Amino acid sequence: MNAGTLQAIWIKRAKRGKMDPAQEAKLKAGRGLVNNADQGGRRQVTLIEEEVWQTLMAELGGDLPPAARRANLMVRGVPLANSRGRILRVGACRIRIYNETKPCERMDEALPGLKAAMYANWRGGAFGEALDDGVVRVGDAVGWEEE
């Protein structure tokens, strides 16, 4: 397993609502993050890469905190691009990646040009479903399971 790290966790309290930072979060298989607005379906957990966020901010001359992306988990050291169908282990839990997260108009509200800058090559991150019940914590190891 290539070694990355879970850098941050955010729980979205309501659709279009505030992103609350957390040091740990409970995952429920087939549902997603406990107390997160998005439950069930294929988009239970959203992820961004710290490195990609830093690159976007440098390209656009921005300094938004990564919570502005409105993702649940921020990872470092694990590329998300083209990971459709792969299984990402975060601590003791697994997340099946379904697809890339395309940016919405809220990104341009946060920083003009951000939506377009994120659109290509998975720069908006990824989303997937929780495969296990468990707790993920900031600092947990993150990596791809071998197919």
State pLDDT tens for residues 46-86.
Answer: 999 999 999 999 999 999 999 999 999 999 999 999 999 99
The answer for residues whose C-beta is within 8 angstroms of residue 48's C-beta and 6 or more apart is 66, 69, 71, 73, 74, 75, 80, 101, 124, 125
Predicted local confidence at residue 2, as pLDDT: 57
Predicted local confidence at residue 115, as pLDDT: 96
Q: What is the pTM of this model?
A: 0.95
Helix, coil or strand: residue 141: strand
- Give dist(CA 10, CA 13) in Å, integer: 9
From 78, 26, 17, 21, select the one nearest 48 (Cα to Cα): 78
**Residue owning tokens 């694990």:** 78
- Give dist(CA 117, CA 128) in Å, integer: 22
Predicted local confidence at residue 52, as pLDDT: 97
> In which residue ranges of the chain is pLDDT below 50?
1
Residue 89 belongs to what H/E stretch?
A: strand 87-90
Predicted local confidence at residue 147, as pLDDT: 62
- Give dist(CA 19, CA 67) in Å, integer: 7
The answer for residues whose C-beta is within 8 angstroms of residue 79's C-beta and 6 or more apart is 49
Predicted local confidence at residue 3, as pLDDT: 84
